[in-house]
Structure 1
């Protein structure tokens, strides 16, 4: 039996909040320096107008309050990021379908994709490129209806095997009459690790890191 689960994308607001905090802190420090310099260099015979001084103190207070609020928000988002990571850990061992044509190849696992066509596909021309954009393999395989799976074990034309890494699939389908059938490609593979970087959770699938936001489906096969 196969069950599928939809997964929501995590927030990356933690990184935004951190950037905002850094800017506000910088503005706060600069404002304080300018105010102090202005007071130290004012003409004793013509001191700063009390109204102007009060206005500047009010601005100083507003900047300080903004920093406190941003710090509090950053703390909250950090906690949410930890929760996202804890929740994502339950994905380990599950088969993931990712909205990407890039799949990972390792010594132990082949690069894997799924395809979907508007109608049955009789044959598929596969073109696989490495991370440098170089085509490393071209082959024609039989189709398996309107939906199916494609795998590549890294075998090259000269009999050697491609190095582990990320590979991109370009595929063109044809029906039994030779008419082109557009295909939608998605990378697949089991989730091995989860990691949180700057508030964004990534999944380790077939040796490459994939943003959780690209995850479109999970499959759990049993029995």
Structure 2
């Protein structure tokens, strides 16, 4: 029988351990107690086969190493997230263009968009949709191959829309009455930079956008 000269506990209750690490420690301690008891009470003429126990020890070691690596990776990601947040803070007060058809309407300013058509257009109509998918406003706007549109919440039927996120849909037709593809981007001043679930987000006129949607930054208003 192969003798086990020494066994060092893999875990010592590190305060940084997660639940999985704590459960692994408890299971490993129980495993060692059972192994020690069985070794002490084994029949000298029929010693136990240690290959299975050795294999389990290796598995415990691999799991423990994986937990430690995961913890280290989380620390690294948290550090990178903090660095990204610090760098993104330079965007505050600058105008952003976003790959999004949604824009925020608030008492601080109108919802704003920009558009670019593939070719000249003859007619252009705008449809504004709220967060529930309800059409709240439809109007014709000056047809142009490129332009901007700001909506202060005013409704054709009277009254004003409440603050929130609104999506713009454009229907563009050329001189032949054919549909013209239009690319829409929301725009606005960056008022807040934050992290949510490890990702940097930009606060623009009351709405939150992933920094991944950012396509352009310009100084001033």
Scaled by the length of structure 1, the TM-score of the pair is: 0.79
CA change 1:29–1:170 in 2 (3 A) is farther
| Unaligned ranges ≥5, structure 2 | 1-16
- Partner-residue secondary structure (3-state), 1:79: helix
Bigger relative contact order, structure 1 or 2, given CA contacts below 8 A and separation 6+?
Answer: 1
How much has 1:157 moved relative to structure 2? 2.5
8 Å Cα contact 1:24/1:66 also seen in 2: no
Q: Distance in 1 between matches of 2:105 and 2:219?
A: 22
What is the aligned partner in structure 1 of residue 83 from structure 2? 83
CA–CA separation in structure 2 for the residues paired with 1:150 and 1:185 = 10
CA distance in 2, matches of 1:122, 1:107: 34
Take 2:128 and 2:112, find their aligned partners in 1: how far apart are those partners? 11
**1:107-146 correspondence runs (5 A):** 107-144=107-144, 146=145
Query: If you compute each CA radius of gyration, which structure gives the higher value, 1 or 2?
Result: 2
Q: Do the aligned partners of residues 220 and 58 (structure 1) sit closer, same or farther apart at CA in structure 2, a change above 3 Å counting?
A: same
Give the C-alpha shift of residue 32 in structure 1.
Answer: 2.8
User: Number of aligned pairs?
Assistant: 201
Post-superposition Cα deviations, 1:19-78, rounded to whole Å, max 9, x if no partner, equal xx9686377357537735854886945775322212211111111111222212211111
C-alpha separation between the residues in 1 aligned to 2:48 and 2:60? 16
**Aligned ranges 1:59-98 → 2 under 5 Å:** 59-98=59-98
- Given that 2:93 and 2:220 are in contact with CA atoms closer than 8 Å, whether structure 1 keeps it comes out as no
| Whole-Å separation in 1 of the counterparts to 2:111 and 2:204 | 10
1:182–1:34 CA distance, 2 compared to 1 (3 A): farther
Gaps of 5+ in 1: 1-20
The separation in 2 between residues aligned to 1:42 and 1:157, in whole angstroms, is 84
CA–CA separation in structure 2 for the residues paired with 1:114 and 1:34: 65
The structure with the largest strand share of the pair is 1
For 1:29 and 1:170, the matched residues in 2 are separated by: 57
Contact 1:173/1:180 (<8 A) preserved = yes
Task: State the superposition RMSD in angstroms.
Answer: 2.6
**Residue 122 of structure 1 contacts residue 142 of structure 1 at CA under 8 Å; is this kept in 2?**
no
Deviation, 1:88, is 0.6
Structure 1 23/171 Cα, relative in aligned 2: closer, same or farther at 3 Å? farther
Query: Structure 1 residues 73, 126: CA separation in 2 closer, same or farther (over 3 Å shift)?
Result: same
How far the C-alpha of 1:176 sits from its partner, in A, is 4.5
Q: Within 5 Å, which residues of 2 pair with 1:14-25?
A: 25=21
Q: TM-score, normalised by structure 2?
A: 0.80
CA distance in 1, matches of 2:188, 2:76: 33
Bigger drift between 130-139 and 33-42 goes to 33-42
Give the secondary-structure state (helix, strand or coil) at the position aligned to 1:143: coil
- Range with bigger deviation, 120-129 or 105-114: 120-129
Match of residue 18 from structure 1: none
Q: CA deviation at 1:198?
A: 1.8
